[in-house]
Amino acid sequence: MKTATWNNEVIAESDETVVIEGNHYFPPNAIKNEFFKENDTHTTCHWKGEASYYDLEVNGETNTDAAWYYPETSELAEGIKGYVAFWKGVKVA
């Protein structure tokens, strides 16, 4: 079981993560939606597609762009479509 935590709170938990380029991608049903706020940030990966980002809002603090996902992917990355990955101090263990 992999757990993502930030600001002393579990924000995602799953035993079905997919690891790509060292990042654990959590299935959409594994995240605790109350901590995730969509924003307007987007980046492009040359082989996965366009990523969208979430801000995390936990215990009164905000971690901007700390989670990302690919709402649509290339054929090569379709196994992580909609899955969520983390950075910016989010710990996955």
Model confidence over 62-88: pLDDT tens digits?
A: 999 999 999 999 999 999 999 999 999
Q: What percent of the chain has pLDDT over 90?
A: 100
Identify the burial level of 21 via C-beta atoms within 10 angstroms of its C-beta, where 0-12 means exposed, 13-18 middle and 19 or more buried.
exposed
Average pLDDT value for residue range 35-62: 97
In the prediction, which pLDDT does 58 show?
Answer: 98
- Distance in angstroms (rounded) separating the CA atoms of residues 55 and 57: 6
Residue 51's pLDDT band, with cuts at 50, 70 and 90, is very high
Residue 88 zone, left/alpha/beta (φ > 0; ψ -120 to 50; rest)? left
Q: What percent of the chain has pLDDT over 70?
A: 100
Q: Retrieve residue 83's tokens.
A: 């899955």
- Distance in angstroms (rounded) separating the CA atoms of residues 69 and 83: 6
- In angstroms and rounded to an integer, the radius of gyration of the C-alpha atoms of the chain is 12
The answer to whether the beta carbons of residues 7 and 61 sit under 8 Å apart is: yes
pTM as predicted: 0.96
